[in-house]
Structure 1
């Protein structure tokens, strides 16, 4: 739950980019809850249609979620912002998909709010858009971020010119608050 007053995101559309399997459930559900409570319309976007299988702690199958759109059929122009949750397997699938990488890269190139948590920043790294930016992620991605020209810091949430990143599920309160506030400011 959000710790601050909800921002008004009425009329705002947000894509939540998930893998067909392996997206961390809580890193999907909590931001979606915060965004919808603030009034945003949220579409679940994936590299395949149908349903996505989320996981708990990268190991146990959790909820399935209905895919609204495939990333090959949408563009950054269709959304005001994007959120990329983590989950090691899911994030690895997304960073290996050219359409998913291009979609995230288009958002960042258009200076649209982009949020990512845990292993989700792998897709940001693959997009080539972290160079010169400061961000955080799950600690094991530090070298990937630095090799891509970004500055990695160990903080609960980091915002750099519309890019909101966070380390892990324990940081979700701070992440959700900052993601909603960043999108509200840009809208």
Structure 2
């Protein structure tokens, strides 16, 4: 089942939502955006309006191979303080499903208790809110430890998305996606690598 869930609230970061949706869908992965607000119409942290695919209470957890939490401080804190979101993350972790978060999003994973004894990263100002039993990584843009992948922030969202595609679909699909989005040109001309 190649179906992935993105849990969202008002105030999540635009790039961190839409880039992951775009890259996963380009790779043929079905993505559902689930709103934790009162309806499906939401605003990003940059006041971009968009519509989620379904309401959080409509989620059928068994349909999904994993979930992703975008950053944007207000949105991430809203998700962090939502007990239903925390319970879903715990359930997915117990089942060994993929969990991912970026920027301020890792604080949501932290509250769920899934970062214990894990390597993780986040936006630098979130470091003090991360689990002290884990290992905070501040010299990598994307960190994967077991079933959990975390990223630094908006500018590297495409690399977190590529990592998720690699985990779900493999390296060949990543290479196709890198060509289609011209990552390969960036790597060739500027020396950046994934």
Q: TM-score range by the shorter chain?
A: 0.7 to 0.9
Q: TM-score, normalised by structure 1?
A: 0.84
Measure the CA separation in 2 of the matches of 1:76 and 1:163: 17
Corresponding residue of 1:159: 144
Measure the CA separation in 1 of the matches of 2:58 and 2:83: 13
Measure the CA separation in 1 of the matches of 2:150 and 2:164: 9
Corresponding residue of 1:51: 41
1:124-163 residue CA offsets vs partner (Å, 9 max, x unmatched)? 011111101111001122122133x221111100000121
Corresponding residue of 2:15: 26
Larger radius of gyration: 2
Measure the CA separation in 2 of the matches of 1:138 and 1:99: 24
1:53-109 residue CA offsets vs partner (Å, 9 max, x unmatched)? 1123xxxx12x2222222233253221111111000000000001011111222122
Which has the larger strand fraction?
1
Corresponding residue of 2:111: 126
Consecutive aligned runs of 4 or more in structure 1 exceeding 6 Å deviation = none
RMSD of equivalent CA atoms: 1.5
| Correspondence for 1:104 among 61, 75, 89 | 89
Deviation at 1:31, TM superposition (A): 0.7
Q: 1:114–1:163: 8 Å Cα contact kept in structure 2?
A: yes
Aligned length: 168
Q: Does 1:13 align with 2:3?
A: yes
> 3-state DSSP class of the match of 1:111?
coil
Q: Does 1:38 align with 2:22?
A: no
Q: TM-score, normalised by structure 2?
A: 0.81
Measure the CA separation in 2 of the matches of 1:121 and 1:153: 12
For structure 2, the residue ranges without an aligned partner over 5 or more in a row are 171-194
Q: Does 1:150 align with 2:134?
A: yes
| Correspondence for 1:78 among 57, 63, 67 | 63
